[in-house]
């Protein structure tokens, strides 16, 4: 008998075999289209294999990631607070900078209180999982973000999906739910893949008619919608009628991290029960300082929001003139729907030829038939950048026909 060594007896479990044989992973690794690591970045430009690209898929809508004051705030925070609070807010990880950022966000959103996490994903999971329980019913727009589905699954509530942005479908689902069940509606303010705006005022109407708690994920509406970029609830004038607003710092605030805002009693409850809040380390000083400085600049300098919408209108007009399907996006989150994976890949490669980089989104990220290139407009794009985008998109659109 051979002696037992790792070299000659390699035990492979059934789970490891399943992983090894997974077709989707094999395909992904073979085609190498995602997880691209850019070797360099300067402002809104990135470098891949030595070539420079304008990044047309960044969610830095207000362009504040390139602002030197934001970088300086991050450096100062690192100097003052060190690298990490190394613990959860519940335990040893709370600092003054967390409280200051929470007050700043709550004020900006006209909410009583706020809690910040180290990722928007955590904030969104927490926003649904901790307010719902077994026996409750969640009514969910079928296109909401993965983080919200994760929170719903953890809550063990009954889930009823309604058709995307359809008030008729939402009301139909509500009419079937027994009167005595506790109900929660989950929507996004701006749908990240489609760029659609939720008809939030009407959703609020239904939430009140049917006695529902309302959760709004405003990751892509925060900083973008409303006269002062306060987000979707402000845009519709319903900030008093949404129970919880959650979102991310990785879009308009050019950082990473996320927030949950609402009445103080809700945030106190979240701090008592949310596992994502209690058992995960607090947001670090640099992330928080970036978000805080970016929000301060956004509040004091309306020109970034103005520039964002000026660029967005110009881009929408271009896509319209080229006859491209952009899923009726009304916002700076703009998909270019190609309809199948070959066309989507072809389009993104043509953009790259002209020095523009944009994400390719295939099922299950979108339904089959909606394969797309997910583009996003930023206030950081100057006229020269916009001309480069126009040239590349026109070239790709003409090559596609
Ligand atoms: C709608 C929506 N919600 C939540 C998140 C999660 O945010 P983060 O990337 O900060 O974890 C995202 C980011 O992709 C998002 O698009």
Q: Is the pLDDT of residue 5 over 70?
A: no
How far does the centroid of ligand 1 lie from the alpha carbon of residue 120, in Å? 5
**Could you tell me if 182 and 96 lie in one domain?**
yes
Between 169 and 1, whose confidence is greater? 169
Over range 28-35, report the average pLDDT: 92
CATH number, domain containing residue 356: 3.90.1150.10
Q: What is the pLDDT of residue 2?
A: 57
The answer to whether the CB of 187 falls within 8 A of the CB of 203 is yes
Confidence of residue 143 (pLDDT cuts 50, 70, 90): very high
Residue 261 resides in a domain = yes
Confidence of residue 4 (pLDDT cuts 50, 70, 90): low
* Ligand 1 atom closest to Cα of residue 147: 4
- Return d(Cα 128, Cα 148) in angstroms, integer: 7
Q: Is the pLDDT of residue 7 over 80?
A: no
**Could you tell me if 253 and 138 lie in one domain?**
yes
Residue 1 resides in a domain = no
Q: What is the pLDDT of residue 29?
A: 94
How far does the centroid of ligand 1 lie from the alpha carbon of residue 124, in Å? 8
Q: What is the pLDDT of residue 8?
A: 64
* Ligand 1 atom closest to Cα of residue 258: 10
Residue of 225, 250, 283 to mutate, ligand 1, most atoms within 8 A of C-beta = 250
Confidence of residue 185 (pLDDT cuts 50, 70, 90): very high
Residues 241-294 pLDDT 10s:
999 999 999 999 999 999 999 999 999 999 999 999 999 999 999 999 999 999
How far does the centroid of ligand 1 lie from the alpha carbon of residue 135, in Å? 27
**Could you tell me if 46 and 80 lie in one domain?**
no
Q: What is the pLDDT of residue 80?
A: 97
Residue 8 resides in a domain = no
**Could you tell me if 239 and 329 lie in one domain?**
no
Domain hosting 125: range is: 66-300
Q: Is the CB of 117 under 6 A from ligand 1?
A: no
Q: Is the CB of 219 under 6 A from ligand 1?
A: yes
Residue 120 resides in a domain = yes
Q: What is the pLDDT of residue 360?
A: 95
Q: What is the pLDDT of residue 401?
A: 77
**Could you tell me if 164 and 307 lie in one domain?**
no
Residue of 121, 143, 276 to mutate, ligand 1, most atoms within 8 A of C-beta = 121
**Could you tell me if 286 and 395 lie in one domain?**
no
Confidence of residue 62 (pLDDT cuts 50, 70, 90): very high
**Torsion angle in degrees (nearest 10) through CA of 122, 125, 127, 132:** -150
Over range 59-82, report the average pLDDT: 97
Work out the mean pLDDT of the chain and round it to a whole number. 96
Residue 7 resides in a domain = no
Over range 109-131, report the average pLDDT: 98
Q: Is the pLDDT of residue 147 over 60?
A: yes
**Could you tell me if 229 and 339 lie in one domain?**
no
pTM for the model: 0.95
Residue 10 resides in a domain = no
Q: What is the pLDDT of residue 9?
A: 73
* Ligand 1 atom closest to Cα of residue 122: 11
Domain end position, chosen among 300, 328, 344: 300
**Could you tell me if 238 and 323 lie in one domain?**
no
Q: Total structural domains in the chain?
A: 2
Over range 95-117, report the average pLDDT: 98
Q: Is the CB of 145 under 6 A from ligand 1?
A: yes
Residues 300-357 pLDDT 10s:
999 999 999 999 999 999 999 999 999 999 999 999 999 999 999 999 999 999 999 9
**Could you tell me if 262 and 324 lie in one domain?**
no
Query: What percent of the chain lies above the pLDDT cut of 90?
Result: 94
Least confident of 65-69, 290-294, 364-368: 364-368
Domain end position, chosen among 244, 269, 300: 300
Q: What is the pLDDT of residue 240?
A: 96
Over range 29-44, report the average pLDDT: 94
Residues 379-390 pLDDT 10s:
999 999 999 999
How far does the centroid of ligand 1 lie from the alpha carbon of residue 216, in Å? 13
Q: Is the CB of 221 under 6 A from ligand 1?
A: no
- Return d(Cα 193, Cα 370) in angstroms, integer: 10
**Could you tell me if 103 and 119 lie in one domain?**
yes
How far does the centroid of ligand 1 lie from the alpha carbon of residue 180, in Å? 33
**Could you tell me if 223 and 142 lie in one domain?**
yes
Among candidate residues 122, 105, 90, the one with its CA nearest the CA of residue 268: 90
Residue 19 resides in a domain = no
How far does the centroid of ligand 1 lie from the alpha carbon of residue 230, in Å? 17
Q: Is the CB of 120 under 6 A from ligand 1?
A: yes
The answer to whether the CB of 143 falls within 8 A of the CB of 137 is no
How far does the centroid of ligand 1 lie from the alpha carbon of residue 88, in Å? 21
**Could you tell me if 318 and 259 lie in one domain?**
no
CATH number, domain containing residue 245: 3.40.640.10
Residues 369-381 pLDDT 10s:
999 999 999 999 9
Domain end position, chosen among 300, 329, 344: 300
Residue 265 resides in a domain = yes
Q: What is the pLDDT of residue 179?
A: 84
């Amino acid at each position: 008998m051979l002696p037992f060594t790792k070299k000659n007896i390699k035990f492979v479990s059934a789970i490891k075999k399943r992983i090894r044989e997974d077709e989707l992973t094999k395909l992904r690794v073979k085609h190498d289209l995602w997880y691209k690591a850019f070797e360099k970045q300067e402002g809104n430009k990135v470098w891949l294999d030595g070539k420079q690209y304008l990044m047309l898929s960044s969610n830095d809508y207000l362009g504040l990631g390139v602002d030197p004051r934001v970088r300086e705030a991050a450096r100062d925070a690192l100097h003052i607070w060190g690298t990490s609070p190394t613990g959860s807010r519940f335990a040893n990880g709370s600092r003054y900078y967390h409280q200051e950022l929470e007050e700043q966000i709550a004020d900006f959103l006209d909410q009583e209180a706020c809690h910040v996490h180290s990722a928007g994903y955590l904030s969104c999971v927490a926003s649904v999982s901790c307010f719902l329980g077994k026996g409750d019913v969640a009514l969910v727009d079928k296109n909401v973000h993965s983080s919200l589905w994760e929170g719903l699954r953890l809550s063990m509530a009954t889930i009823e999906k309604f058709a995307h942005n359809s008030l008729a479908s939402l009301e139909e689902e509500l009419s079937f739910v027994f009167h005595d069940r506790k109900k929660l509606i989950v929507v996004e303010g701006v749908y990240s893949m489609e760029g659609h705006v939720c008809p939030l005022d009407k959703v609020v109407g239904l939430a009140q008619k049917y006695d529902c708690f309302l959760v709004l994920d405003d990751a892509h509406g925060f900083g973008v919608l409303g006269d002062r970029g306060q987000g979707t609830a402000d845009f519709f004038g319903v900030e008093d009628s949404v129970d919880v607003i959650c979102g991310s710092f990785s879009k308009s605030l050019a950082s990473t991290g996320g927030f949950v805002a609402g009445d103080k009693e809700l945030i106190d409850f979240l701090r008592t029960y949310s596992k994502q809040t209690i058992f995960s380390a607090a947001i670090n000083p640099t992330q928080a300082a970036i978000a805080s400085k970016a929000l301060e600049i956004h509040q004091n300098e309306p020109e970034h929001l103005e520039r964002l919408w000026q660029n967005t209108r110009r881009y929408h007009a271009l896509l319209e003139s080229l006859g491209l399907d952009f899923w009726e996006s009304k916002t700076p989150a703009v998909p270019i729907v190609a309809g199948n994976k070959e066309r989507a890949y072809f389009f993104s490669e043509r953009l790259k030829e002209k020095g523009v980089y944009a994400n390719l989104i295939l099922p299950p990220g979108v339904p089959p038939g909606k394969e797309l290139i997910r583009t996003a407009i930023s206030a950081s794009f100057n006229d020269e950048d916009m001309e480069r985008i126009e040239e590349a998109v026109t070239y790709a659109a003409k090559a596609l026909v």
